[in-house]
A and B are shown apart, each in its own frame.
Chain A
Amino acid sequence: GAGVSQSPSNKVTEKGKDVELRCDPISGHTALYWYRQSLGQGLEFLIYFQGNSAPDKSGLPSDRFSAERTGGSVSTLTIQRTQQEDSAVYLCASSLDGAKQYFGPGTRLTVT
């Protein structure tokens, strides 16, 4: 079956612009995660959605970052007024049981 998909695969934006990153999880997966991965670094947790519960936003680095999940499926991560330190690969993962996660290919964001 189809895995997790993310779009765009690459995004180059100017400093100060807003960007939206999209994640399509595996159908039926109730849990969805966003992570950030900087060059040569591990995964940094950003936000977690589980069903209809309020999301766990504890990993969002600043109020410029926000995420939504519509209809319990597609999620959008929005970064406002992008800064150069926001440059990274943004990974989305979904899970059926909240434990075993399946990752998408990521969106590589470059802020110039």
Chain B
Amino acid sequence: GESVGLHLPTLSVQEGDNSIINCAYSNSASDYFIWYKQESGKGPQFIIDIRSNMDKRQGQRVTVLLNKTVKHLSLQIAATQPGDSAVYFCANFTGNQFYFGTGTSLTVIP
């Protein structure tokens, strides 16, 4: 079956530093990937997505990198701010279903 995992369950960074959150997936047929941010008591919020025909995509302060060879996905947040503190989920779309990781809890230290 499909599995989506995160390399670290928690991550603490100093305000202003860059954050990198990693994710691994197992199904090489996955063709679409999303990163979500979930703040306490709220539903997941879309951050950025990437399709399998790309290896990099940039948004505002965020970059997603996809390495299909090793089935690895990462989210980079530049100049991390206190408001970035949340749980970050990766998800991949395979067939007609999404598979979600358990999340990495990012804490930004002022």
Contact = CB atoms under 8 A, between A and B. Distances in A.
Interface of A: 4, 33, 35, 40-43, 45, 48, 56, 91, 93, 98-106
Interface of B: 4, 32, 34, 36, 41-46, 49, 89, 91, 93, 96-103
Contacts, number: 47
Closest 9 CB pairs of A and B: A103-B43, A42-B102, A43-B100, A42-B100, A103-B44, A105-B43, A106-B43, A104-B43, A91-B43
23 contacts: A4-B43, A33-B98, A41-B102, A42-B4, A42-B89, A42-B101, A42-B103, A45-B99, A56-B96, A56-B97, A91-B43, A91-B44, A93-B44, A99-B93, A100-B49, A101-B34, A101-B98, A102-B46, A103-B43, A103-B44, A104-B43, A105-B41, A105-B43
Contacts of B98: 33, 45, 101
A103 B100 contact: no
